[in-house]
Amino acid sequence: YSDDGLTSKEQLAHISLRAQDLRQRQQLVWVHLKQEMRDAHLQVIVAGQLKKAEREWLADYFMDQLFPVLTPIAIDPAHPFPFLPNLGIAMMFRLVQGEKTKHVREQIAVIPLPATLARFIVLPATTKTTTRVIRLEDVIALFIDELFPSYKPTDSAVMRITRDSDLEVHDEAEDLARVFEHAIKRRRRGRVIQVKTLSSISGSMLALIAEHLQVGVDDINLVEEMVGLSHIMQLYDLGPDSLKFTPFQARTPERIQDFGGDCFAAIAAKDILVHHPFESFDVVVRFLRQAAADPNVISIKQTLYRTSDDSPIVRALIEAAEAGKSVTALIELKARFDEEANIKWARDLERAGAQVVYGFVKLKTHAKVSQVIRREDGKLKAYVHLGTGNYHPKTARVYTDLSYFTCDPDISRDVSYFFNFVTGYATPRELKKLVMAPNDLRNRLLDHVAQEIAFAKAGKPANIWAKMNAIVDPILVDALYAASQAGVQIHLVVRGICALRPGVPGLSENIHVKSVIGRFLEHSRIFCFGNSAPLPSDTAKIYIASADWMVRNFDMRVEVMTPIENATVHDQILDQIMNAYMKDDTQSWTLLPDGSYKRIIPTGAGFSAHDYFLANPSLSGRGKALKKIGAAFPSALLPAPEKTAKKTAKTSKKISANKKKPAGKKMSAKKSLPKG
């Protein structure tokens, strides 16, 4: 039984109903989108709407571009049902031959749609302002007689299948990489667990699909408009620029440029926090490229969970290994759907002479850590990168994540212990600053929640701000409920799954949850505890992490949580980043006590966190050119009594008078900055 008293079968039934409701809502959104695109002169049409000239053009297009690629397959004892890959789309036809004679022949045929073909075909322009497109399956149905001469279709269906993609790896595996290679091959032919087709399908065709794919009728999901909605992304490039986000150029931190692009010199001078995608991921790539080329660098250690097909990170590691440096790469083979790419990178790194390890059989290494050891003045100095996101240049363009660079000796030593743990199973006795899962990450968070409860009971300010992708861990959820009942003010920014219900009287009325859904995908994990002061506060305890608050992250993954002690980075995360998310009202949804979300209505012109990050330089990345300008601090919109207690937009005089900073730390700030 689950925590809510349901059996596994009952849970699956509830999930199925909710998923079906979501699928239907997606189809309705697609209907509305088509109308809005039509208003913007981008039309998705069906065969009956084709003009004569368009139909003639399509006839030539079909024979030239589609006919040579398509493979029509008749289903009979000599031609078994074809293999369809996971998430593959195919068309099924019932055909008849000789319907006007006594010898009528019926034939069932399947046409797999190659993934290399565009789902939408752009028709030749008939006007200067309107673009018309038609779906691939509509074109195939229109010219089916070219694929099956002398046959006439009497019934058809479009279907998309989902296969079981779980990989089974036994604990006694001797060569993990080889075991995964075999498992990936088996997964490609995993059993079909779900089929999606249009609700207009006939009962006989539905039965045929169930029979040939060996699924129950209940495993076939019916949708109204289109299967494979992810393909509508192909329409983006066809739309007018007026409907697209304004292009932007990611900033390179000024302080890196002040040091002539020397990452080591910039990091040695002061810790840096790079905020992606507003600040370029190229800083991370440059850090490793510089390490690979620097003769004073003697070793590089790196975790890789997900990366791109043409990863510059891996190329830098290969160059370093070929240059004779000691390179250790922890490659996680259990990164779902990236297993094959990770095996390839592992083989390439091994050929270059790097030490490659695969972590643990039972644990997934999800931490994002890089360490460079450099010889300076006869001594060894460590440079460390700790991130909330993957070492993936492509996703770094659209995911919001944090990259923290430091030379802190305690953190550097902890990172060494971390790598010893994942390479040699040597569990560290004690870490000075970093917090690891599955060792003690959940307990550290629970300790901070308990401390805030104690502050609240003592009549002191008690606050928690946290940002993550998901919160489902029942122990943390119960702890937050207890904190709310004690009077702790809790503000959560949760992009995805939230198992916590805020605003329930007597349980969670002091918990507020919002989800920010905008131009970029929210991915950073930030945890802030007031530490007996209203947030934002210089005395707050702040962490960034690779982990969400989920059971799998606490118990089944190797994760790292990093404390932020540098004053400038502390301000950047709390006063700039978290403050902006709290204030955002143009792309935010608030979670209601019943589990539904309500769109927040902007006040006045509204405030967008993403627009703010695009326009304002980050604190730790400021260089000489921005030293006099400073950076804006958004005034967070918090409920009373916090709103009156928190600090508002700061000036240099207020900072020097009211803020306790380490010696030599001075800042100036304005309410706004010119864009650019």
Q: Which residues are catalytic?
A: 366
Asked if residues 512 and 639 have their Cβ atoms less than 8 Å apart, the reply is yes
Task: Give the residue among 247, 240, 284, 237 at the shortest CA–CA distance from 263.
Answer: 284
Asked if residues 608 and 600 have their Cβ atoms less than 8 Å apart, the reply is no
Helix/strand/coil percent split, the chain, to 5: 35, 25, 40
**The pair of three-digit structure tokens given for residue 295, joined into one six-digit string:** 């003769």
User: In the beta sheet, which residues pair with residue 589?
Assistant: 515, 599
Give the three-class secondary structure for 491: strand
Q: Which residues contact 66 (CB under 8 A, 6 or more apart)?
A: 117, 136, 139, 140, 143
**The pair of three-digit structure tokens given for residue 351, joined into one six-digit string:** 């050929």
**The pair of three-digit structure tokens given for residue 669, joined into one six-digit string:** 């700030």
Q: Cα-flanking dihedrals φ and ψ of residue 318, to 5°?
A: -65, -45
User: In the beta sheet, which residues pair with residue 143?
Assistant: none
Asked if residues 500 and 511 have their Cβ atoms less than 8 Å apart, the reply is yes
Calculate helix-pair angle for 339-352, 312-322, nearest 10 degrees.
20
d(CA 452, CA 483): 7
Asked if residues 91 and 70 have their Cβ atoms less than 8 Å apart, the reply is no
Q: Which residue has the tokens 């709103």?
A: 643
Cβ-in-10-Å burial (0-12, 13-18, 19+) of 175 comes to exposed
The DSSP secondary structure of 336-359, one letter per residue, reads TT-HHHHHHHHHHHHHHT-EEE--
C-alpha distance from residue 527 to each of 492, 494, 506 (Å)? 9, 12, 25
Q: Which residues contact 85 (CB under 8 A, 6 or more apart)?
A: 115, 163, 188
Buried b (16+ CB within 10 A) or exposed e, 119-133: bbbebeeeeeeebbb
Task: Give the residue among 577, 576, 479 at the shortest CA–CA distance from 526.
Answer: 577
Give the three-class secondary structure for 395: helix
Longest dimension (CA), the chain: 100
Q: Which residue has the tokens 């094959």?
A: 340
d(CA 31, CA 26): 9
d(CA 434, CA 417): 10
d(CA 402, CA 525): 8
d(CA 90, CA 361): 37
**The pair of three-digit structure tokens given for residue 437, joined into one six-digit string:** 């899962």
Task: Give the residue among 440, 539, 528, 447 at the shortest CA–CA distance from 489.
Answer: 528
Task: Give the residue among 445, 468, 302, 447 at the shortest CA–CA distance from 370.
Answer: 302
E strand or H helix at 464, and its extent?
Answer: strand 463-468
**The pair of three-digit structure tokens given for residue 355, joined into one six-digit string:** 């030490």
Cβ-in-10-Å burial (0-12, 13-18, 19+) of 448 comes to buried
User: In the beta sheet, which residues pair with residue 437?
Assistant: 559
Classify residue 278 by its DSSP letter: T
